[in-house]
Structure 1
Amino acid sequence: MPLHQPDYGLDGFEPADGGHELHSRDLGISSFKVLGEYRTHTDSYFVLLDEGATWGIPGSPQLRAVHVSRDLRTRTFEVDSKELPLYAMAQSYLIARGCPADALSPPAGVHDPADDLTRALEARVRGDGDRFALLASYTADMRDPVETAVMLRSLDPQAVPEFRILLEQFDWDSNTHTLREGAFETYAAAVDWWEAWSDEEAPALPPPAPAVRRGPAPTAPATPVPPVSRRPQGRGTRHSAKPVSADRRRAI
């Protein structure tokens, strides 16, 4: 089914401040199309596809989660949004801002899970958004099928395994996708797999074991979680997806 441009429902409302005015203007570009939306009298939630992202920075996230809140008394609005690589991650972002957990499913035939394993993993991602930091993501939209890789780190410094990689494969012919997960005890091991994936030589993802907690550290406490990386650094092609080094990660 054809996708439509978002209607943020802001007629008769003014931005709460200059920052929200600029933010709302940034969301007014014609390349945004609605994959999922939910509305109340005061709030609107959207998962948007940026159809222009494929022509921008290689590997950039192609989804954006948007929350619009309206103050009916002052007739003002506030907007916040975030680029995210996976639909379930966009849902998690909006659920944390008050959207019902089951309210943002995309229309049938647009972005359907291909199997029960994908459904189960996406349900966990929706509920685990506050447990992991996003270290890197890369959408390889020139591959067939399209692939998106996401590297996460547990926010619990005692969790084992500490690093996870999610890999989504999207089939344009059926509009279905699979999502799989791998677990890595070290950042170096996760990067090794990522670089092999970048070169289209990745082995199977190591199956995730149930997360456990390390015992108390006998020396110094665990190193704090590093700042989140906006996206990995590419080599100038759609198939390049090298993650940033640990000392170059920066906050979104």
Structure 2
Amino acid sequence: MSLHEPDYELDGFEPADEEHEQHHDHLDISSLKVLGEHRTDTDSYFVLLDEGATWGIPGSPQLRAVHVSRDLSARTFEIDSKELPLYAMAQSYLIARGCPSDALSPQEGVHDPADDVTRALEARVRGDGDHFALLASYTADMREPVETVVMLRSLDPQAVPEFRILRERFDWDSNTHTLREGGFETYGAAVDWWEAWSDEEAPELPPPAPTARRSPVRTAPATPMPQASRRPHGR
């Protein structure tokens, strides 16, 4: 898989402030490669693969969504970015910042969905990104196939199931991946599955139940978990 480094198109532009200058410096590294991008006169959107992440904190997200906004009159720029574990989640982040929803498909042959189930679920993740909080993620790039798991909690406290786990499996030989979803009514049930997955003994993900609502009962932490956590209740 041959990928190129991002061109943020900032020649002749200055950072809008020191924070954006530091952010640009942090993103100006050779390990970041373009999986997908979209450009306009004033904005650039990227989904980047951090090829160096595999040597960092185990399980850390290996994708980064980047939005570059250029002020053509002031000749200044601003940069926003976020590490995210799944391509569709990176797309959702950038769509919320003005990128057209159909403009960030990955390069052909780079990160192709293996089946229609994956395509449909990724479309839903792109559209529903603001409906869920990210509690934890882990990318197991030493497994065969490579796997990423993500735990989400619905921001609607009456939703059933309240907790979701997404499981992506990536095949390097074909550069294709599958994405599957499981639903859990309680945080404890989601953690039990996660721990079994960590021990490579996970059962099949339980299908999400039909959409329903219930009286709100908080069963998970009020703040998101660290994204690079082997077990969702802490390392």
- How far did residue 209 of structure 1 move? 1.6
Partner residue, 1:145: 145
Please tell me the residue identity of whatever aligns with 2:232: P
The counterpart of 1:226, out of the listed 222, 225, 229, is: 222
Match of 2:136 in 1: 136
1:73-222 → structure 2 map (5 Å cutoff): 73-215=73-215
Residues 10-37 of structure 1: per-residue CA shift (max 9 Å, x gap)? 0000000000000000000100000000
- In the TM superposition, what is the alpha-carbon distance from 1:230 to its structure 2 partner? 2.9
Deviation, 1:223, is 7.4
Alignment-derived partner of residue 243 in structure 1: 232
CA distance in 2, matches of 1:139, 1:223: 25
Which secondary structure does the structure 1 equivalent of 2:188 belong to? helix
Q: Quick one: distance in 2 between partners of 1:130 and 1:224?
A: 18
Q: Which amino acid aligns with 1:229?
A: M
Alignment partners' CA distance in 2, 1:197 and 1:231: 16
SS in 2 for 1:196: helix
Distance 1:230 1:34 in 2: 25
Alignment deviations for residues 190-222 of structure 1 (CA, whole Å, 9 cap, x no partner): 00000000000000000112221115x6xxx75
2:62 equivalent in structure 1: 62
> Which whole-Å CA distance do the structure 2 matches of 1:222 and 1:145 have between them?
35
What is the one-letter code of the residue matched to 2:222? P
| Counterpart residue type for residue 104 of structure 1 | L
Q: Secondary structure at the match of 2:33?
A: strand
Structure 1 pair 200–226 and aligned structure 2 pair: CA distance change class (3 A): same
CA 191–123 in structure 1, closer or farther in 2 if over 3 Å, else same: same
For the residues of structure 2 that align with 1:108 and 1:4, how far apart are their CA atoms? Answer: 14
Q: State the 4+ residue runs in structure 1 displaced beyond 6 angstroms.
A: none
- Distance of 2:69 and 2:161 partners within structure 1: 38
SS at match of 1:54: helix
| TM-score normalised to structure 1 length | 0.90
Letter in 1 for 2:205: L
Whichever residue aligns with residue 178 of structure 1, its letter is T
Letter in 2 for 1:61: P
Task: Write out aligned runs for 1:47-58 (5 A).
Answer: 47-58=47-58
1:39 aligns with 2:36: no
| Distance change in 2, residues 1:142/1:222 (3 Å) | closer
Indicate how the Cα distance of structure 1 residues 32 and 232 shifts in structure 2: closer, same or farther if over 3 A, else same.
Answer: closer
- The answer (yes or no) to whether the contact 2:34–2:49 under 8 Å persists in 1 is yes
- Identical pairs, percent: 80
Q: Would you say how many aligned residue pairs link Structure 1 and Structure 2? A: 235
The residue matched to 2:129 in structure 1 has which SS? coil
The residue aligned with 1:238 is: none
Cα pair 2:171 2:177 within 8 Å, conserved: yes
Once the 2 structures are TM-superposed, how far is the Cα of residue 38 of structure 1 from its aligned partner? 0.2
The amino acid that maps onto 1:80 is D
Query: CA shift at 1:244, angstroms?
Result: 2.5
Rounded to whole Å, the distance in 1 between the matches of 2:132 and 2:96 is 14
Q: Is the 8 A contact 1:155 1:225 kept in 2?
A: no
Gaps of 5+ in 1: 234-240
Q: Do the aligned residues in 2 keep the contact of 1:153 with 1:162 (CA within 8 Å)? A: yes
